[in-house]
Amino acid sequence: MRIDHLGVAVTSLEKALSFYEQQLGLSVSLRETVEQEKVKVAMLPAGDSRIELLEATDPDSVIAKFIEKRGEGLHHIALKVPDLVSTVERLKQNGARLLNDPRPGAGGHLYVFVHPSSTGGVLLELIQE
Ligand code: ZN
């Protein structure tokens, strides 16, 4: 298991990228719009991990609501697991609160979100290796 990425909610990808790319020197490896989450995503590799910048494409988006409530900031931590289906089964059996069934997301990998009430207060994304 390893940390795949840290998800950061921003109001503007362009504005955030002017910091992460131009000032900090990271490079975008992937940009895409995830329709079902109503977000635009930019992935910036940082060593073995990545920073995922998330901008809402709709006021309905969970990212828009997050920013409305709490402002820009760290939105989730994503761990890559070797077997997502069995991990999800185990978590469900132990009463963890999952926010969705495994489904394909940015980059085509299967993922689920685990509610902060189960993880010590952090929204946790689990991704299939
Ligand atoms: Zn993510």
pLDDT digits (tens, 9 = 90+) for 13-27: 999 999 999 999 999
Collect contacts of 13-20 with beta carbons under 8 A, ≥24 apart. Answer: 13/40, 13/42, 13/53, 13/55, 16/42, 16/53, 16/55, 17/42, 17/53, 20/44, 20/51, 20/53
The CA 95 to ligand 1 mean position distance, Å, reads 23
pTM confidence score = 0.92
The CA 106 to ligand 1 mean position distance, Å, reads 8
Number of domains forming the structure of the chain: 1
55: tokens are 């901008």
User: For the segment 47-86, what is each residue's pLDDT rounded down to a tens digit?
Assistant: 999 999 999 999 999 999 999 999 999 999 999 999 999 9
The CA 107 to ligand 1 mean position distance, Å, reads 10
Mean pLDDT computed over 82-107: 92
CATH of the domain at 33: 3.10.180.10
Query: How confident is the model at residue 34, as a pLDDT?
Result: 87
For 65-106, the DSSP string reads HHHHHH-SEEEEEEEEES-HHHHHHHHHHTT--BSS--EE-G
The CA 78 to ligand 1 mean position distance, Å, reads 6
Domain residues for the domain of 55 are: 2-128
The CA 81 to ligand 1 mean position distance, Å, reads 14
Mean pLDDT computed over 9-16: 98
